[in-house]
């Protein structure tokens, strides 16, 4: 995500991957590369709610955009793209400082996805949720659509 994308939405159109460094003179075995996503569904636009947009605007005011390599919103203290491990470690520190249970990035994605799916009221919205997540409709149904015992009772009662 780059600063110019921060306009109440996030445009996801790149993937940051760690790959083997094939340069003979390289000092490291691996390197980070920014590439196009593997799957067409991965390219998407995700709207930001007002709180998320506010937080990004606060970051923009706190930091000079020249601080970030390639104008990325997330960067390390060395002004480079963070690794997945950098992001994991930062999330753990944030959770500890906040005095809350530690969460993984996957758990946050799963919670977001489940909450989005719960808010859907029709098949069209469920398709929208799938697009937001960069998944297919079938994957969203299988992974994030959890049944509710009370709703089952209510459905049966509704036809009585």
The residue segments making up the domain with residue 63 are 1-82
- Confidence category of residue 108, pLDDT binned at 50, 70, 90: very high
Three-state DSSP at 31 gives strand
The residue with tokens 């980070």 is 32
Residues 43 and 113 in one domain: no
First vs last C-alpha separation in the chain: 51
Residues 7 and 77 in one domain: yes
Query: Does residue 123 lie in a domain region?
Result: yes
Residues 72 and 112 in one domain: no
pLDDT tens-place string over residues 64-105: 655 555 566 777 777 777 888 889 999 999 999 999 999 999
Number of domains in the chain: 2
Of the residues 52, 82, 112, the one at which a domain ends: 82
Which helix or strand (DSSP H or E) is residue 9 part of? strand 9-12
Residues 1 and 78 in one domain: yes
Give pTM, 2 decimals.
Answer: 0.74
Nearest in space to 88 (alpha carbons), one of 44, 55, 96, 3: 96
Nearest in space to 13 (alpha carbons), one of 36, 34, 32: 36
Residues 72 and 111 in one domain: no
């Amino acid at each position: 995500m780059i600063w110019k994308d921060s306009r109440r939405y996030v445009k996801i159109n790149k993937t940051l991957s760690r790959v083997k460094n094939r340069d003979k003179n390289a000092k490291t075995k691996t390197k980070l590369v920014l590439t196009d996503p593997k799957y067409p569904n991965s390219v998407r636009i995700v709207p930001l709610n007002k709180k998320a947009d506010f937080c990004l605007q606060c970051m923009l005011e706190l930091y000079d955009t020249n601080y970030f390599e390639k104008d990325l919103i997330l960067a390390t203290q060395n002004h480079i793209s963070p690794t997945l491990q950098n992001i994991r470690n930062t999330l753990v520190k944030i959770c500890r400082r906040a005095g809350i249970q530690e969460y993984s990035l996957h758990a946050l994605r799963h919670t977001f996805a489940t909450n989005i799916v719960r808010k859907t009221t029709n098949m069209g919205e469920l398709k929208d949720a799938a697009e937001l997540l960069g998944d297919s409709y079938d994957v969203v149904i299988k992974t994030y659509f959890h049944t509710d015992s009370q709703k089952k009772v209510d459905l049966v009662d509704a036809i009585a």
